[in-house]
Amino acid sequence: MEQESGEQNITIAEIAKRAGVSTATVSYVLNDRQDVKISEETRERILALCRELGYQKGVKRTAAKKQVTIDDIAREAGVSTATVSYIVNDRKDVKISEETRKKVLQICNLRQYTPSPIARLLAGKKNNLIGICAPQSEYPAQNAHYYALLQQLQLALRRKDYGAVLLTPPVMQEMHMQENLEGIVCIDLTEAEFYALKETWFVPIVAVDMIVSDPLFFKVYTDHGAVVAAAKQLLHSEKITYVAHPFRNAPYLDDLKEALQEDTLYLAGNPAALRAFASAHPDDAFVFGDRSLAELCAPLLPAGRSVCIADTDDAPLSLPPRLTAERAVEMLQCAVRREETKPHTCKLAPIVSIE
């Protein structure tokens, strides 16, 4: 009885800790990922722990029941594995008799054979649907920032023939829903939200405007050190006051703080409070995280004493959402294709124009 009740409390992280492996390895085993090399000893150790602790969700491989493979179907139908693959992936460019097609599909049905999302992806059958997981902020200006990035992500995905569906954290859909998505792009999630996402959705995930410690995932974010250096050059100042949205991802915010060193960081929430702060510091060299924050304070600051990270290519300090979105989609394609040797981190430096 203790094991049964424990099923609600045992997490993949706990299993990984006890097995001495990463959470990703546990996820691969539970989802029977055949495209990832895992020793049989490690696989059996993880499955044994799952049974011992009462964790059954997602366990597809047991010693008692052998999983039906495409080779089994081909052998029973008296055809090649290629023919089975063509039929289950509905390939219209290959000539196969209707009799053979029906026979193979009938055997698949009787043996409860369903090709995995990974197998369908490798076979070339894609639904081309990407989830975009973006949070809601209590601050309108920050929501406008998210919306601008969402728009550019949708456009960049469309140019690569992907469709997009908006997900709002927490995203805890049932496992069968994962077959509808090729991957997920998430924006500025908290560490807890990202952890819940990666523990629930076993599809490629690209993190945008976030820093995640797990090297398995691709990530795209601003090179804060490059931004600070460029801003000081443009403003001819050794110290700056950096005004930014209150990022939800703590490691990303810590990275910004590290880049500022002894400079001042102001996290803008309330517009009136930001304007009051700007009025009280007219001699500061201000750097604004985006145009909306700069426009709030522009009438209160002397000319030439501020610069913003603009969303246009011709601005003195430019890092448009379009560029972030394009890089994110490029990395998403690498993740979907399992191109693990490609760099997993892309730090975006601003485009600087000095007259």
Per residue in 202-245, pLDDT (tens digit) is: 788 999 999 998 888 899 999 999 999 999 999 999 999 999 99
Give the percent of the chain with pLDDT over 90: 38
Q: Are residues 75 and 107 in the same domain?
A: yes
Is 164 inside any structural domain? Answer: no
Residue 216 lies in a domain: no
CB atoms within 10 A of CB 5: 9
**Tokens found for residue 240:** 């700056």
Counting the structural domains of the chain, the total is: 2
Among 3-7, 8-12, 92-96, 281-285, which stretch is predicted with the lowest mean pLDDT? 3-7
Q: Above 70 in pLDDT, residue 39? A: yes
Whether residue 113 is predicted with pLDDT greater than 80 in this model: the reply is no
- pLDDT tens digits, one per residue of 81-101: 878 878 877 776 678 898 888
Residues 49 and 77 in one domain: no
pTM: 0.64
- pLDDT(277) > 50: yes
Integer Cα distance of 268 and 284 in angstroms = 16
In a domain, 343, yes or no: no
Give yes or no for residue 333 having a pLDDT over 50: yes
In the prediction, which pLDDT does 265 show? Answer: 97
Residue 336 lies in a domain: no
In whole angstroms, give the CA distance from residue 78 to residue 39: 32
Looking at residue 93, which CATH number applies to its domain? Answer: 1.10.260.40
What pLDDT, on a 0 to 100 scale, did the predictor assign at position 5?
37
**Which segment, 108-122, 127-141, 283-297, is predicted with the most confidence on average?**
283-297
**H helices of the chain, where?**
2-6, 12-19, 23-30, 40-53, 70-77, 81-88, 98-110, 117-123, 140-159, 191-200, 224-235, 250-260, 271-280, 291-297, 321-336
Whether 112 is in a domain gets the answer yes
- Indicate the residue type of 245: H
Of 99 and 112, the structure prediction assigns the larger pLDDT to: 99
Flag whether 99 is in a domain: yes
The verdict on 47 and 75 lying in the same domain is no
Report pLDDT for 223.
Answer: 96
Whether the pLDDT of residue 289 is over 60: the answer is yes
In a domain, 77, yes or no: yes
Residues 75 and 119 in one domain: yes
Q: Has residue 140 been placed in a domain?
A: no
Asked which of 123, 142, 165 is the last residue of a domain, the reply is 123
One domain, residues 48 and 74: no
pLDDT in tens, 234-268: 999 999 999 999 999 999 999 999 999 889 999 99
In the prediction, which pLDDT does 66 show?
Answer: 62
What is the model's pLDDT at position 45?
85
pLDDT at 1: 33
Do 39 and 80 reside in the same domain of the chain? no
Instruction: Based on DSSP, count helices (H) and strands (E) in the chain, helices before strands.
Output: 15, 12
pLDDT tens readout for residues 59-78:
444 444 567 788 888 888 88
Structural domain of residue 21, as residue ranges? 2-53
pLDDT-derived band at 170 (thresholds 50, 70, 90) equals low
